[in-house]
Homo-oligomer: A and B are copies of this chain.
């Protein structure tokens, strides 16, 4: 039997984000479990599970997007961890954040870099 979009998505999320992704989902259980379900199904079950772009490139695109958006630091941190988990080295991630100064300005790049600093400190513990 085929796995469901949810099962595929959860498996992929677990392999990429580990605990961080699960914590987000758990924190939704008492307020809106359906949002947790959709957050697994569409982003991970449908999109990240697609072939056509390797996971490392997907996380580079996501780090760029969330640095530019600038108002979702906790999601950015999840994906900075994810980027490291799927094989981006620290230097590559810094380059992506740095490059966003061109498109979204220096404050966005600075805030992205400070988020990455916190991620690296947390991982060192």
- By a beta-carbon cutoff of 8 Å, the part of chain A in contact with chain B is 24, 27-28, 30-32, 34-35, 38-39, 42-43, 46-48, 50, 52-53, 57-58, 60-72, 74-75, 91-92, 94-111, 113-114, 116-117, 120
The 5 closest A-B pairs by CB, nearest first: A72-B107, A53-B95, A61-B64, A70-B71, A64-B64
Chain B min CB distance to A27 (Å): 7
Beta-carbon contact of A35 and B110 below 8 Å: yes
Q: Report which of B31, B32, B75, B106 forms a contact with A43, defined as CB distance below 8 A.
A: B106
Inter-chain CA distance A65–B69, complex, in Å, is 9
With a cutoff of 8 Å between Cβ atoms, the chain B residues found around residue A38 in the complex are 42, 46, 98, 101, 106
- Knowing A35-B113, A60-B57, A65-B64, say if A52 contacts B95 (CB, 8 Å): yes
21 CB < 8 A contacts A-B? A32-B98, A34-B98, A35-B94, A38-B42, A38-B101, A39-B106, A42-B46, A43-B102, A47-B101, A52-B92, A53-B99, A60-B64, A61-B64, A61-B100, A64-B65, A65-B65, A69-B103, A69-B107, A70-B72, A71-B108, A71-B111
